[in-house]
Amino acid sequence: MINLYHYLFLVRRTFLIIVTYILVLSCQFEKESALTEGKLLAGKYCSSCHLFPEPALLDKKTWINGVLPAMAGQLGIEVLQGNVYLTDKKSVLTGKEWSRLVEYYKTLAPDTLQKATVPVVASDDWCNFTLKKPAENPDAVSSTTMVAIDEKRHQIVTSSSERSAIYEYSSNLEIILSSDLPSAAIDISFAQQTSQEDIITCMGGMQAADHTKGQILEYRQKDSKANLLSSDLIRPIQTRPLDYNKDGLQDYVVCAFGHNRGGLYILKQDADHTFEKVPVREVPGATQSVVQDFNHDGWPDIMTLFAHGDEGIWLFLNNQHGGFTTKNILRFPPSSGSSSFQLIDMDKDGKEDIVYTAGDNSDYSRILKPYHGIYIYKNTGNLHFEKSYFYPVNGCTKAIAADFDKDGDIDVAVIAFFADFKSNPAQTFLYFEHVNEGITFKPHNVPVAASGRWICMDASDYDNDGDIDIVLGNYSKGFLNQENVKPSWNIHTPFVVLENNILNKKNK
C-alpha cells in the first residue's frame, strides 16, 4: 500500500514540475513574442528609411552602443547612458516598443563579426609600376582631398584641406601653379572642348554635416580665375556637365552628400546665364553620378550612387519634360559604406557592368566588416545586374577599372582608406590583374603602404607614354578607427604616382 506521505510528495513534485514547465514555456513564449515584435518594429520603422538591417551585419556592442542610440533620434527617442527618453510628440515608439526593438538586435547579433576569407591571396610585388614622389613638406601633415590627372596638359592637379587651394604639378612632379579656393576641392571635371572651362567642386568641409555649404566653380586654368556657379549646396562632392533639357545651355548635375539633408540636384542654366537648383532626389548621401543615354532615346540620363542611410544605385531616366523617372538598380544595407562605382564592360559581352566598392567606415559602426570590399555586378540585360565577383578589402574606398597592362582586358586598382592597419596594412592599395576568361583576377599588394594613407585616386596617362598611370592622394589627419594605431606611413608627401611601365617592358 502506497504511503500517504509518499503519495502527497509525488503529487506535490509533479505539480511543481508542471508549474515550472508552464513558467518556462511562458517565459520562452514571452521572449519569442518580444523578439517577433522587435523584428516587426524594426521592419516597420527601420525599413521606412533604408533596406532592412539584419542583426548579423554588426556585433552586439556596435548595435547597442553605436548604431541604435544614433538611430533613436530619427524615431523621436533619446538614449543617454542607457536611459531612454521620449522626446514629446515626436516619438513614434513607446519606451516598451523601443526596448523590444533593441532586444531583437541584442539577442540575434553576433558577439563579433567573422573575418572574411580572401578567395586568392595577394602577391607582394610592383607589377608594372614604379613609384614616383613629389617633394615632401616636412612642416605639414598631408591632407590631400583630391588628385586628378589632366591628360591633355600632362599635369597632376590636387587640393588639400590644409590650405584651401588647387595645386598643379608638371610631369616632373614640380608645382607650377597654385590658386586659392573658397574651400578644399574634392572633384574636378576637365573641359572636353576648348570653349569650355574646368568645373571644380569644393565640399565646404570634411565633416558630413547639414550646415556645411560648398561651392561649384568654373575654373579657367589659363589665368587661374574661378567663377562661382553655386554656393547653396550641402557638402557637394561631385559635379558633371550635361544639357538635361536640350536648350543649348550647359547645365550640371551635382551630388550633395549632407547628413540628414542633401541629395542629387541639377544646376539649371537660365537664359540670363544664372543657375537655379532643381532637385532630382533629395535624399542625403549622393556620392557619384554617371551621365549617359541609358535608354537610347537621345536624352541624357543619370545613374547615381547614394551612400548614406538608404544606400544603393539609382537610375534617373530623362522624361524630356524637365524631369526624371526614377528606377532603383541596386540597393545595399545601411552599414555597407558604399564608396564608389564605375560602369565598364568587364567580360567583353558588349554590356557595361558595375564595379562597386563598399568601405566607408566613418559613422556609427567603426569596426572591420567582412562585407567591405570590391564587387562586380554583371549586366544581364535590360539594366538588370547580378553579383558575379567579390573580394574582401577592409575599408575599401575606390576602384578604377582600366586596361592597365595593355592585354585587352580590364584590370582594377583599389584603395582602402579605412584599412586594417593592425593586421593587413598592405590592403591600402591593391592591383587586380585580369587573368583568363570571364571575371577572374590575380591580386597584387603593391608595396606603397609606407608612402601614405590613400583617400583619393585617379588614373590616366600623365606622362604621355601611351599607358595608364595611377596617382594616389595622402590624407593623414585623423580618422583612425582602430585603437592604439599611429601612422606608420609617410605623413608629409601629398601624393604619389604609380608610373606604368608596361609598354617599356613590351618593347624590350
What domains lie within the chain, and their CATH numbers?
Answer: 1-108 (no CATH), 123-506 (2.130.10.130)
Distance CA 450, CA 172 (A): 22
Residue 33: band (very low, low, confident or very high) from pLDDT cuts 50, 70, 90: low
Which amino acid appears at position 144 of this protein? T
Question: For residue 438, what are the β-bridge partners?
Answer: none
Between vectors from CA 151 to CA 149 and to CA 156, what angle results, nearest 5°?
30
Q: What is the pLDDT of residue 29?
A: 46
Q: Is the pTM higher than 0.85?
A: yes
Q: What is the pLDDT of residue 208?
A: 79
User: CA nearest 417: which of 491, 479, 471?
Assistant: 479
Residue 32: band (very low, low, confident or very high) from pLDDT cuts 50, 70, 90: low
Helix (H) or strand (E) holding 478: none
The phi, psi pair for 106, rounded to 5°, reads -65, -35
Span 339-366, pLDDT tens digits: 999 999 999 999 999 999 999 998 889 9
Q: Are 370 and 395 in contact (CB under 8 A)?
A: no
Residue 77: band (very low, low, confident or very high) from pLDDT cuts 50, 70, 90: confident
Residue 443, burial from CB neighbour count under 10 angstroms (0-12, 13-18, 19+)? buried
Composition of the chain by helix, strand, coil, percent to 5: 20, 40, 45
Of all residues in the chain, the percent with pLDDT exceeding 90 is 70
Least trusted range by pLDDT, from 72-81, 241-250, 281-290, 471-480:
72-81
Of the two residues 88 and 332, the one the predictor is more confident about is 332
Instruction: Give the E-state strand segments of 66-128 in sequence order.
Output: 77-80, 83-86, 123-124
User: CA nearest 362: which of 486, 289, 452, 455?
Assistant: 455
Residue 489: band (very low, low, confident or very high) from pLDDT cuts 50, 70, 90: very high
Which amino acid appears at position 63 of this protein? W
Of the two residues 77 and 388, the one the predictor is more confident about is 388
Cell readout for 474 is: 595622402
Span 37-48, pLDDT tens digits: 888 888 888 887
Q: Are 166 and 158 in contact (CB under 8 A)?
A: yes
Distance CA 389, CA 384 (A): 16
Of the two residues 226 and 458, the one the predictor is more confident about is 458
Q: Are 169 and 155 in contact (CB under 8 A)?
A: yes
Q: What is the pLDDT of residue 79?
A: 74
Arithmetic mean of pLDDT, 208-229: 86
The phi, psi pair for 434, rounded to 5°, reads -75, 125
Residue 31: band (very low, low, confident or very high) from pLDDT cuts 50, 70, 90: low
Q: Is the pLDDT of residue 25 over 50?
A: no
